[in-house]
Amino acid sequence: MTIEPRLDIIGAALADPSRSRILCELMDGRAFTNKELACAANVSPQTASAHLKQLEQAGLTASLRNGRHVYHRIANAEVAAILEGLAQLSPTDHLSRPGQIGTDTRQARSCYNHIAGRLGVLMTDRLIALNVLMVRDDTICAGPRYHAFLDEIGIEAPLGSLGKPPAKFCLDWTERRHHISGPLATAIMQKFLEAHWLERRTGSRALNITAEGLDVLECQFGLTQVDIDLVDPV
Amino acid sequence: MTIEPRLDIIGAALADPSRSRILCELMDGRAFTNKELACAANVSPQTASAHLKQLEQAGLTASLRNGRHVYHRIANAEVAAILEGLAQLSPTDHLSRPGQIGTDTRQARSCYNHIAGRLGVLMTDRLIALNVLMVRDDTICAGPRYHAFLDEIGIEAPLGSLGKPPAKFCLDWTERRHHISGPLATAIMQKFLEAHWLERRTGSRALNITAEGLDVLECQFGLTQVDIDLVDPV
DNA sequence: ATCTTAATTTGTTCACTGCCGAAGCGTTCG
DNA sequence: CGAACGCTTCGGCAGTGAACAAATTAAGAT
C-alpha cells in the first residue's frame, strides 16, 4: 500500500537520443527556444516540440512564453544535479557535437546556473574559509563577511527571500565534492560573466577564466592559477 | 570532436516499468535470481532474462553465476546513489507493492549495501566526531580510534585493500547530507544485521532498530532514540 | 541414468513512439 | 491589414521493443 518510485517515467523521458541532446544543450542553465533546440538535436521543429512537451511533463524542464517564442530550461537545480550524475554514469558519444563533459570542462563549467567543476568547488571552500558563508548542520547561512563580499564584488544585496539560506550545497560529480547553488551562486556566475571574468566557451558548458578573472579570484578568493590548474589524481 | 554524454542509453535501460520494478527490488543491495525478479515484476522468466541482460549491458547491474542460479545485483555504489537520486525526482506509484521510499524509510534504510537515511547520516557524523574516521580534503581515512572501534563492535580488521580509504562519502538524497559507503560501511551494516541490531522490514528497504541495536548505538556511537526520531523540517 | 528446475535463445505478435508533411493558431513586423 | 515567423496539432508511415510460447542448454535431485 505504500509507494514505489517510477523510475521508468523519468527513464522514458531520457530514453531518446534527441531528448538527450536537448537536455545536454540546456545543461548550461540557459534557456533556448524550440527552434534552437530542434536545430541542436537535428530534428524538425514539430518533433522538438513533442520532445519538449514530454520533458516538461516528466518535470525535467520548464517553459516560459515570451511573445511568439517559448523558452525552455532545466526545471530546477535538483534536476540539473541528477542529470550531471547520470552523465557521469553514461557512455559518451565521440562523434557528436562539441563537448559537454570533456577534459576541458573539469576545470570550470556551468551547472544549470552556477559554477561547477574544480573552480566551483574551490570557490565554495574559500567562501566558507573567508567567513562569507557559514555552515551549520549542512545548511548554509550568511557569515560576518557576507555583505562586505557582495559589496566588493559588485552584487547588490537582497538575494532570495529573507531568512532563506542564500545558497545550498550541490554535489559536483566530477570533483566528488560540493559546490554551491542557489541565489548567491547564480548571482556570482552572472556577475563573473557580465564582468568578463569568465567566458562561455562556444557550444560547450566549459568556462574560460580571463586575465581579469584571475585577478579577482586572487584578490577576492585567494585562489591562484596553480590552485585551479591542479588536477588531483583519481 | 569532443564528447557528449548519452543520457538516452541509461534512459532506455530505465524506461520500462518492469525494469523499474526490478531495480527497486535490487536497491536494498541484496542479490536476487532471475526467477525472483521475474515474479517481483510480474513477468515471465524469459522476459525478465531479457530485461536483466539489458540492465547489465547498460552497466546498472552485475550478475554472478552460482550453480544453476544467476544472482543479479546493483553494479556498484555509484549506480545505487544515482538511482536513489532519480527515485527522489520521479513520481511514485501508490498502487504497487510495499514501499521503497515511503515515510518509513526516512529514518533508516539500506542503500545498496550500507546504511542510509537519518541513521546513516548520524552514524557517519559520529564516526568522524569520535575519531574513528578522519576527513581530509573530502577523502576519508582511518582515525586513531579506528581499530579500537572495530574491536569493540566485533568486526575483524582488514577491510578493503591496504592504503585505500575504508569508506567513501555517498550522498543521501532524503537527508541531503552524506553517509558513508565502502568496505567499512558494508561491514557495519552486515554486522548490525547479523547481530540483530537492525532488521530488514519485509519487502522494503526500511530497517528496524531493535532494542539491542539502540543499546549499541548509544554505547558505541553516543546516539539516543531521540536523535534518531528527530525529523528536521525541510 | 532420468527427472526436475533455472536460465536462456528464437520466433512471432502487438503496441508504442519518433519522425515529418500538412494544416491551424497566435504574435510580430512592415 | 497582410505577410512572415514561431509553435503546436493531426495523420500516416516506419522502426523499435516488450510480451509470451516453444525449444535449448545446463545444473542439481532422485
Q: Note the pLDDT tens digit of each residue in A137-158.
A: 667 888 899 999 999 999 886 6
Q: Would the pLDDT of B100 be above 60? A: no
Q: Which residues of A touch B82 (CB under 8 A)?
A: 82, 85-86, 89
Res. A102: pLDDT tops 50:
no
| Per-residue pLDDT band at A215 (split at 50, 70, 90) | very high
* Chain A contact present for B68, CB below 8 A: no
What's the pLDDT at B158? 63
Query: Residue A35, SS3?
Result: helix
Q: What is the mean pLDDT of residues B70-95?
A: 85
Go through the domains of chain A in sequence order and give each one's CATH number.
Answer: 7-75 (1.10.10.10), 103-229 (no CATH)
Round the average pLDDT of chain A to a whole number and report it. Answer: 85
The answer to whether residue B54 scores a pLDDT higher than 80 is yes
Contact B114, B120 (CB under 8 A): yes
Residue B83 pLDDT: 93
Rounded average pLDDT over A182-205: 87
Residue B130 pLDDT greater than 50, yes or no:
yes
Between B167 and B171, whose confidence is greater?
B167
Question: Which DSSP string do the residues of A84-143 spell out, in sequence order?
Answer: HHHHHHS-EETTSSSPSSSGGGTTSEEETTEEEHHHHHHHHHHHHHTTSEEEETTEEEE-
B49 touches strand C (CB under 7 A): yes
Close Cβ partners of A106 (under 8 Å, ≥ 6 residues apart):
A117, A118, A174, A175, A231
Ramachandran angles phi, psi of A202, nearest 5°: -65, 135
**Distance between CA atoms of residues B210 and B197, nearest Å:** 5
A61-66 sheet: strands from edge to edge = A32-33, A69-74, A61-66
**The pLDDT of residue A231:** 54
Distance from CA of A109 to the nearest CA of B (A): 14
Chain B residues closer than 8 Å to A79 by CB: 89
Contact residues on chain B for A6, CB-CB shorter than 8 A: 17, 20, 90-93
A10, B14: Cβ pair inside 8 Å?
Answer: yes
Question: What's the rounded mean pLDDT across residues B161-167?
Answer: 77
Query: How far does the CA of residue B68 sit from the closest CA of chain A (Å)?
Result: 30
Q: How confident is the model at residue B107 (pLDDT cuts 50, 70, 90)?
A: confident
Say how far B62 CA is from D18 C1', in Å.
22
Sign of CA dihedral B127, B128, B132, B133: positive
pLDDT recorded at residue B150: 92
Alpha carbons within 13 angstroms on the beta-carbon side of residue B5 total: 25
Asked if A93 has any chain B CB less than 8 Å from its own CB, the reply is yes
Q: B128 CB near a chain A CB, below 8 Å?
A: no
Which CA distances in Å does B109 have to A118, B29, B97? Answer: 32, 11, 17
Local confidence band at B233 (pLDDT 50, 70, 90 cut-offs): very low
The dihedral sign for the CA sequence B135, B228, B119, B233: negative
Q: Side chain identity at B81, as an amino acid letter? A: A
Q: Which three cell numbers stand for residue A123?
A: 570557490
Residue of B20, B97, B204 lying closest to A7 (CB–CB):
B20
Q: Is the CB of B70 under 7 A from strand C?
A: yes
Q: Rounded to the nearest 5°, which phi and psi values hold at B65? A: -85, 135
Cell reading at A205: 558548458
ipTM of the complex, rounded to two decimals? 0.76
Taking the C-alpha atoms of residue B31 and residue B73, their distance in angstroms, rounded to an integer, is: 5
What's the confidence (pLDDT) of residue B210?
92
Distance CA B118, CA A5 (A): 19
pLDDT attached to residue A95: 47
Residue B70 β-bridge partners: B65
Q: Is B166 exposed, middle or buried (0-12, 13-18, 19+ CB in 10 A)?
A: buried
CA distance A133 to chain B (A): 18
The reply to whether A47 has its C-beta less than 7 Å from any atom of strand C is: yes
In this prediction, residue B66 has a pLDDT band, given cuts at 50, 70 and 90, of confident
Give helix A77-89 / helix B7-14 axis angle, nearest 10°: 100
B79/A10 Cβ within 8 A: no
Query: Phi then psi for A72, rounded to 5 degrees?
Result: -115, 140
Residue A11 has pLDDT above 90, yes or no: yes
Would you tell me which residues 211-230 of chain A have a C-beta closer than 8 angstroms to some C-beta of chain B? none
Mean pLDDT, all residues of chain B: 85
Residue A159, C-alpha cell as written in the block: 538575494
Residue of A4, A78, A101 with shortest CB distance to B3: A101
The whole-number pLDDT of residue A160 equals 66
Partner A contacted by B53 (CB < 8 A): no
- What is the SS3 assignment for B154? coil
CB B140 within 8 A of CB B83: no
Min distance B6 CA to chain A CA atoms (Å): 5
CA distance B234 to B220: 29
pLDDT exceeds 60 at position B95: no
Q: Which of A166-170, B60-64, B107-111 shows the highest mean pLDDT?
A: B60-64
pLDDT greater than 70 at residue A187: yes
Distance, CA of A153 to CA of A188 (rounded, Å): 9
Residue with cell 537492525: B198
Q: Would you call A91 and B9 a contact, using CB atoms and an 8 Å cutoff? A: yes
Q: Is the CB of A9 under 7 A from strand C?
A: no
Res B94 pLDDT > 70:
no
Least confident of A47-51, A104-108, B178-182: A104-108
pLDDT-derived band at B39, boundaries 50, 70, 90:
very high
Higher-scoring residue by pLDDT: A134, A226: A134
Tell me, what's the pLDDT at B68? 86
Q: What does the block give as the cell for B205?
A: 528497504
Mean pLDDT of B61-65: 92
Least confident stretch, B81-95, B159-173, B207-221 = B159-173
Average pLDDT for B112-131: 89
Average pLDDT over residues B50-69: 93
Q: How many CA atoms lie within 13 A of A115 on its CB side?
A: 26
Kindly tell me if the per-residue pLDDT of A2 is higher than 60. Answer: no
Under 8 Å between Cβ of A185 and A145: no
